[in-house]
């Protein structure tokens, strides 16, 4: 291996390291939304130990009860694969939830509040908790 | 020559049966940002001209139960959209040609779906019910699946 090849290889390795260490798409607005949710979560439960992408994934895929019969799951409209587009019940395309495919996701607090407000009620028949919302955002930020 | 005759016959027949590709209905497109954004979040923003104002007022008054979903809005946005829809409804003074959309709707009837109006049913009576459950169409509410420029207020006969 000559010198220039070595340099190229090292650059490539360090580049891939960087992308592994950093979250998929850090965004100050999304971080602020998560920080607010973390505060709320701590208020509700002082033992709160941070959001979990695993819990978020389970929540996303789960069939819930208590909501409206046509929408038992997030996947009812967002499809099983959050990196793919979804479809409303009226047939309109929904842009992917995964931040890697749709970097503006979870960056506008009004939109986040509006859609959690509506969809948690449609799917679960209640508001989502701060932990559920934070887990959901963390999961999709890494997708 | 045979082909030309056949073609003319087809064109003539289609013309007679009212199935010309350009036939359909056009209404003024929605020019209200909140209506376009909020209604258009889940489906095309449906033309207010196609329902009477009492329908829009009732529909906008129960967004928490919106055809099987919660579509709640902040009160101010909700009021703004309701006002716009009522002012451009079939029976609003400023609406021209709105009567055709509510022909056959009883005075005490409050249709919440455009697809429940006699007008819509008449216009779609030749469409097999199975077409609406086609995965590419999915719902009668998906106007734009067949009327490609429905979002501009143009509901042309499908080609």
Over residues A57-75, the pLDDT tens digits come to 999 999 999 999 999 999 9
- Could you give the dihedral angle defined by the CA atoms of residues B159, B149, B153 and B68, in that order, rounded to the nearest 10 degrees? 100
- The total of other beta-carbon atoms located within 10 Å of residue A48's CB is 16
Chain B residues whose beta carbon lies within 8 Å of the beta carbon of residue A87: 138
The total of structural domains in chain A comes to: 1
Q: Which of A64, A77, A87, A92 to mutate to test the interface with B (most CBs of B within 10 A)?
A: A92
Which residues of B are less than 8 Å from A118 in CB distance? Answer: 69-72
Number of separate domains in chain B: 1
Q: Which domain holds residue B27?
A: 23-156
Is residue B52 predicted with pLDDT exceeding 70?
yes
Q: What is the CATH number of the domain that holds A60?
A: 1.10.760.10
- Is residue A85 scored above 60 in pLDDT? yes
Q: How confident is the model at residue A5 (pLDDT cuts 50, 70, 90)?
A: low
CA distances from B110 to B36, B99, B118 (A): 23, 15, 12
CB-CB neighbours of A133 under 10 Å: 25
* Parent domain of A98: 25-141
B contacts of A117 (beta carbons < 8 Å):
70, 72
In a domain, B9, yes or no: no
Q: Does residue B15 belong to any structural domain of this protein?
A: no
Is B72 contained in some domain? yes
pLDDT one-digit tens code per residue, A99-138: 999 999 999 999 999 999 999 999 999 999 999 999 999 9
User: CB–CB of A89 and B70 under 8 A?
Assistant: no
**Between A and B, how many CB-CB pairs are < 8 A?**
49
Q: A112: buried, middle or exposed (CB in 10 Å: 19+, 13-18, 0-12)?
A: buried
ipTM of this predicted structure: 0.81
B43 touches chain A (CB under 8 A): yes
**Token pair listed for B158:** 């499908």
């Amino acid at each position: 291996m000559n010198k220039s090849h070595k340099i190229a290889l090292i650059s490539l390795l360090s580049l891939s390291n960087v992308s592994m260490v950093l979250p998929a798409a850090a965004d100050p607005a999304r971080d602020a939304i998560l920080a607010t949710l973390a505060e709320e979560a701590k208020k509700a439960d002082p033992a709160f130990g941070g959001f979990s992408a695993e819990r978020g994934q389970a929540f996303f895929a789960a069939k819930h009860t208590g909501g409206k019969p046509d929408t038992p799951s997030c996947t009812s409209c967002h499809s099983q694969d959050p990196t793919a587009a979804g479809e409303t019940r009226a047939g309109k395309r929904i842009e992917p939830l995964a931040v890697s495919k749709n970097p503006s996701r979870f960056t506008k607090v009004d939109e986040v509040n509006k859609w959690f407000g509506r969809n948690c009620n449609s799917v679960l028949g209640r508001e989502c908790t701060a932990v559920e919302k934070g887990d959901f955002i963390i999961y999709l930020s890494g997708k | 020559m045979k082909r030309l005759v056949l073609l003319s016959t087809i064109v003539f027949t289609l013309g007679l049966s009212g199935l010309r590709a350009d036939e359909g209905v056009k209404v003024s497109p929605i020019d209200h940002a909140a209506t376009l954004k909020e209604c258009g979040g889940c489906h095309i923003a449906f033309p207010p001209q196609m329902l009477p104002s009492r329908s829009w007022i009732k529909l906008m008054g129960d967004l928490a139960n919106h055809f099987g979903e919660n579509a709640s809005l902040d009160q101010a946005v909700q009021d703004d959209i309701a006002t716009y829809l009522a002012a451009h409804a079939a029976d609003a003074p400023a609406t021209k040609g709105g009567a055709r959309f509510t022909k056959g709707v009883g005075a005490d009837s409050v249709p919440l779906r455009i697809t429940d109006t006699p007008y819509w049913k008449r216009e779609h009576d030749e469409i097999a019910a199975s077409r609406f459950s086609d995965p590419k169409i999915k719902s009668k509410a998906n106007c734009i699946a067949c009327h490609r420029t429905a979002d501009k207020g143009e509901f042309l006969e499908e080609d």
